[in-house]
A = this chain, B = another copy of it.
Amino acid sequence: MSKTDYSVYLVTDTGMCPRENLIDVCGKAIDGGTTLIQLREKDISSRAFYEEALALKALCARRAVPLLINDRVDIALAAGADGIHIGQSDIPLEAAQRLLGKDKIIGVSAGSVAEAVEAEQGGADYLGVGAVFPTSTKDDAENVGIDMLKAVRGAVKIPIVGIGGINAENIEKLRGTGIDGVAVVSCIMASRDPEAAAAALKEKVHNL
């Protein structure tokens, strides 16, 4: 398997676009430079999740973009996805590894250096670290997120993507953090022009 490009990492949210537009939005996001897609669904039947994963995998396979599934190892396996992304309240990393085998990508959400180190030691392929730009009225919230990215970068060797409120306007604040990519939801999913939104991130992420 070639090295995974985490630089422009799209997390889907069908709360932000009509579900019937999902494949179209993802296709445009890939046109703009999205390098990896994570399909995330929460309030949906397993059947609908599976069918959506199949359709998105077909698109991603044509475009040579890896598809990860949020949380659901069974959906990932059934739809032939390239891996999963798990949070701290999903099934444990070691259980996911047993089910998925060695060839699939497994990413883990980390909200602290301790969680990041534990996931790396457990064999995670990459980390989603955040929230980078949390919604907060505190003036220093932004620096807390950026400082955590730097601290995690200093503590682990596996790829890191920052997540949480990142967009083309604030991405330059992440310069010097040493992250491998930015994971975004709304800045592409809720955009009127997903291709341009992805392209704006792609241009700037390589200058970090």
Contacts and interface: CB of A to CB of B under 8 A. Distances in A.
Interface of A: 45-48, 50, 71-75, 77-78, 86, 88-92, 95-96, 98-99
B89 A46 contact: yes
Nearest to A89: B45
Copies of this chain assembled into the complex = 2
A90 B46 CA distance: 5
A73 B74 CA distance: 6
For the complex of A and B, the 10 pairs showing the least CB-CB separation, nearest first, are: A74-B74, A73-B74, A45-B89, A78-B95, A46-B90, A47-B89, A50-B91, A46-B91, A46-B71, A77-B99
Contacts of A74: 72-74, 77, 91, 99
A73 B45 CA distance: 14
A93 to B, nearest CB: 11
A44 to B, nearest CB: 10
Nearest to A78: B95
